[in-house]
Amino acid sequence: MTHLVQRDCAAPSSLNACDIEIKLLKVLEAKSSDPDFWSSKERDRSDSAHCIFQYPAMMVPIVQRRLLGTMMEVRPDIHSVYDPFVGSGTSLVSGMHYGMDVYGNDINPLAVLISRVRTAPTVNSSVDAVIEQISDLAKADRRQTIETSMENREKWFKHDIAIELSRLRRAIRNCTDLWARQFLWVTLAETVRLTSNDRTSTYKMHARPADEILKRKQSPILVFRALARENASSFSTFRRKLTDSNWIKSAKYVGQSDIRLGDARQVANSLADVGTFDVLMTSPPYGDNLTTVPYGQHSYLPLNWIDFQDIDATADIAMLRTTQEIDRRSLGGTYSNGAWEETKLLDASPQLKQYADRLPTKPEDGRTRLLRFYRDFAASLDSIVGVMKPGGYMIWTVGNRSIAGRQVPTDLVLSELLQGLDSKVITTLTRRIHHKRMPDRNANSATMREEKILVVRTGRP
């Protein structure tokens, strides 16, 4: 479905922008005649190395490519794409299919690691041999030393599992090539996820029943080897497609790639040296991580087995202080000095004010959490819009979560906040969620079956 927005094209200075928007609306409307175009039923886990880690709520690569491709039909001068909530990097690898410069940031160190692996300008072409060498090295290791100091380790890892994960960690440290080492860390992260005592039916940490843990027989080294081979194959296919499109020359990607560890509320400062971007394409959090999708909690166990210096020089090991520390530092996690004042926020979004005023008294902290998240989200929009080119475009894919059985109108709130920042919503598309993995036991998200895609023009051209 495409919701058309009427534009005022009377002013001569805005004629060009209006011509572009009229053409864009026509193209979007034509493509939306196929009800599955934005809601692809295709599911290829190997697409663009999408399978290397099961990150929460990942976007669909083919849908993101279609969105970018549609934008480029109308604006072939677009050269850069930016994602301030980069996650596993799907928006950016989609941009690489068009030879674009790709930029992103995330507060989660694991997201930064995964995205850097997927968007690397150059890669180790002998990674298949490296995988076998590292696997053999780990298998030959007979040491019993445990290579993690995480608290309560025995709850989450059987002793024999921890021994093999430690051998893998020691083996990976012997790899001298940084990209290959990062690739191996990501594979180890997925190995940790699959061999720990944590359930995989939810993104929140919950230990399996004791009898189930006793019955499980796994070898992390064997799991790692199989995953690494699959990941290498997927990555090879992705790079081959880039090569066939002439986006890789002399073994190097032709565009720029820059993924940074950083808070979306401060990107205007952290990206000041880069310049401004043509297109933003992202999917922001649905709400505060602690009550929606706990990205940080999902990353906690894997990060305890990865060397932080291989992720980023600024990566703070204190993020592993507790299982909820990353989520606590994320939007809405705690009170933030960088947040908007509540009065300013509710004035900027009448839809949010109306929703907040009608919330029931249970849960008691429902209204507080709602406004705390949106105060932080609004502050991030302030910063994000500041790094976009005037007359550039933003593509926001958002889900409308529920609180106390009432759906938060995230798409409408976002529209109002963006309009207050001199950005105009051109159209809103609706996509059905066919395969996007959501936490099965999270009541806030389990009923989410569609998303809204807001196409927005920034500032004045």
Residue ranges per structural domain of the chain: 2-122+234-296+311-458, 127-233
What is the model's pLDDT at position 9? Answer: 46
Question: Does residue 268 have a pLDDT over 80?
Answer: no
Q: How many C-beta neighbours within 10 Å does residue 279 have? A: 25
Amino acid occupying residue 298:
H
pLDDT, one tens digit per residue, over 62-82 is 999 999 999 999 999 999 999
Q: What is the token pair recorded at 414?
A: 């976002």
The candidate with the shortest Cα–Cα distance to 120, out of 12, 1, 226, 256, is 256
Share of the chain above pLDDT 70, in %: 92
Dihedral of CA 323/380/87/169: which sign? negative
What is the model's pLDDT at position 53? Answer: 87
Kindly report the CA angle at 302 between 163 and 294, in degrees rounded to 5?
145
Q: What is the token pair recorded at 431?
A: 């996509």
Dihedral of CA 40/44/47/52: which sign? positive
The CATH class, in words, for 2-122+234-296+311-458 is alpha beta
Q: Give strand ranges (E) for 348-411.
A: 388-398, 402-403, 406-407
Cβ neighbours of residue 261 closer than 8 Å, sequence gap 6 or more: 105, 106, 107, 109, 112, 311, 312, 314, 315
DSSP assignment of 212-275: HHHH----HHHHHHHHHHHHHHHHHHHHHHHHHTT-EETTEESS-EEEEE--GGGHHHHTTTT-
Amino acid occupying residue 428:
T
pLDDT, one tens digit per residue, over 207-254 is 999 999 999 999 999 999 999 999 999 999 999 999 999 999 999 999
pLDDT, one tens digit per residue, over 107-135 is 999 999 999 999 999 999 999 999 999 99
Predicted TM-score (pTM) of the model is: 0.92
Dihedral of CA 32/390/417/5: which sign? negative
Question: Does residue 148 have a pLDDT over 90?
Answer: yes
What is the model's pLDDT at position 23? Answer: 93
Q: What is the token pair recorded at 59?
A: 């976007």
Q: Which residue has the higher pLDDT, 290 or 311?
A: 311
Q: What is the token pair recorded at 347?
A: 């004035």
Query: Exposed, middle or buried: residue 115 (CB in 10 Å: 0-12, 13-18, 19+)?
Result: buried
What is the model's pLDDT at position 435? Answer: 55
| Residue given tokens 């992103």 in the structure block | 104
Q: What is the mean pLDDT of the chain?
A: 90
